[in-house]
Amino acid sequence: MDAQLQADRAALADTVRRFAENEIAPHVQAWDDAGEFPRALYARAAELGLLGLGYPEALGGTPASYALKLPAWIALARHGKSGGVLASLFSHNIGLPPVVLHASDAVRAEVVPAVLRGEKISALAITEPGGGSDVAALCTTARRDGEHYVVNGEKTFITSGMRADWITVAVRTGEERGAGGISMLLVPGDAPGLTRTRLAKMGWWCSDTAQLHFDNVRVPARYLLGNEGGGFRMVMGNFNGERIGLAAGALGFAEACLDEALAWSQGRKTFGAALIEHQVVRHKLVDMQMRIASTEAWLEAVSAQGDAHEAAGRFNAPEWVAQVCMLKNHATQTMQFCADQAVQILGGMGFMRGAVSERIYREVKVMMIGGGAEEIMKELAARQLGW
């Protein structure tokens, strides 16, 4: 890694750390209690260039490699200490890429800059009540009617689903079943016939999550992304960036758990000595650090591979996709282990609302399931490896 990239990474990480410590972490408990965070946070993140990181300059973004984005993602998790904030504040990172890559120039100009300025919110809607990871079996339909598509169906577990101004929706066009019949359609959040129902969750309380209902929703045909029938490939390609982001977030949350557990063990006295003076506690902390270090090294390696593949135009190289899947599992398992050990070290305090590790403990499972459950990741990795 060259000196300039190292300097840029350090500067970005420091900016993100200060933003997270000052404008996210102090308010997370109140936002969790309220079930949402202020929309003004989008504009503040945009002012710092965080929403536009990795997007074309012509659309108001700042092009960035995985190597540059990684420190930002990790720092936001470690110092912001809330998966709920990150999930909604950056939901555009799964909602916008299909628009950037496949929309017309006019639609890109209409949609993307306002989202990157923090004025509008973007979401992605793939999952349906009747099926999760089996994207090829989705049932929501979009029937062409003149210059519009008429959308009917439901989507569920949609992050930013209650507040999104633009929703990138996987739909079935035509009569073809399976992957070949899937298309991607950009749906305005104020479209008549679109209704939303808030969902209650185990974690991510301040991230609004919704079930969407489409009842004869008319969407201008210009909002079709790419060609009819090309949606499945878009969905699969979109997952790679999401999974690396989840892995980076999981690493940051694991570090947050270690930070809290270490500070607690140094200050808490039991039987006349600080907790950290007990061998069993020190060994728990070392076990956490071991897993964090391995995750960090793997994440750096996979990100470097991703940057190299993108530079060569190999965006979905099978061997790299396999690495992404396995990394996502490893990182979320690290997060799970560290959250569990941190709560154990904190004891009763780890069970109390307001403890960082208590929040992260509740958020572990959505990280292990979202973006592709562990079992799906293992099977996809095996197939990509030709096994």
Q: Which pLDDT value is given to residue 151?
A: 98
Mean pLDDT in residue range 225-252: 94
Beta bridge partners of 166: 122, 188
More confident residue, 240 or 2: 240
72-92 pLDDT tens trace: 999 999 999 999 999 999 999
pLDDT at 178 over 90: no
With cut-offs at 50, 70 and 90, classify the pLDDT of residue 304: very high
Angle, CA of 159, 111 and 43, to the nearest 5°: 65
* Tokens linked to 39: 């929309």
The residue from 21, 47, 128, 242 that is catalytic is: 242
Decide: helix, strand or coil at residue 96: coil
Residue 3's alpha-carbon distances to 26, 36, 74, 307, in angstroms, are 34, 40, 20, 17
Q: Which pLDDT value is given to residue 253?
A: 98
Counting DSSP H helices and E strands in the chain, the numbers are: 13, 10
In the chain, pLDDT over 70 holds for what percent of residues? 100
pLDDT at 315 over 80: no
Q: Which pLDDT value is given to residue 180?
A: 87
328-340 pLDDT tens trace: 999 999 999 999 9
98-114 pLDDT tens trace: 999 999 999 999 999 99
336-383 pLDDT tens trace: 999 999 999 999 999 999 999 999 999 999 999 999 999 999 999 999
In the chain, pLDDT over 90 holds for what percent of residues? 90
φ/ψ (deg, to 5) at 205: -60, -35
Q: Which pLDDT value is given to residue 296?
A: 97
* Tokens linked to 326: 């396995």
Q: Which pLDDT value is given to residue 355?
A: 96
pLDDT at 11 over 80: yes
* Tokens linked to 29: 């408990």
pLDDT at 162 over 80: yes
Q: Which pLDDT value is given to residue 94?
A: 96
Helices 231-267 + 279-311 axis angle, to 10: 150
* Tokens linked to 294: 């391995």
Q: Which pLDDT value is given to residue 148?
A: 98
Instruction: For 102-208, list the strands marked E by DSSP.
Output: 122-125, 141-145, 148-159, 166-173, 182-188, 194-198
pLDDT at 312 over 90: no
CB neighbour class for 26 (10 Å; exposed up to 12, middle 13-18, buried from 19): exposed
Q: Which pLDDT value is given to residue 135?
A: 85
pTM for the full model?
Answer: 0.95
pLDDT at 174 over 90: no
- Tell me the torsion sign for CA atoms 166, 180, 243, 225: negative
Beta bridge partners of 168: 124, 186
Beta bridge partners of 155: 212
Catalytic (active site) residue 242: yes
Decide: helix, strand or coil at residue 167: strand
Q: Which pLDDT value is given to residue 15?
A: 95
Lowest mean pLDDT among 55-69, 171-185, 193-207, 370-384: 171-185
pLDDT at 291 over 80: yes
Contact between residue 239 and residue 371 where contact means Cβ atoms under 8 Å apart: yes
pLDDT at 311 over 80: yes
CB neighbour class for 329 (10 Å; exposed up to 12, middle 13-18, buried from 19): buried
Contact between residue 228 and residue 183 where contact means Cβ atoms under 8 Å apart: yes
Q: How far apart are CA 249 and CA 251, in angstroms?
A: 5
Contact between residue 219 and residue 148 where contact means Cβ atoms under 8 Å apart: yes
* DSSP-assigned letters across all residues of 98-125: HHHHHS-HHHHHHHHHHHHTTSS-EEEE
128-154 pLDDT tens trace: 998 767 888 899 999 999 999 999 999
Mean pLDDT in residue range 216-226: 98
32-47 pLDDT tens trace: 999 999 999 999 999 9
Contact between residue 285 and residue 276 where contact means Cβ atoms under 8 Å apart: yes
Q: How far apart are CA 346 and CA 85, in angstroms?
A: 24
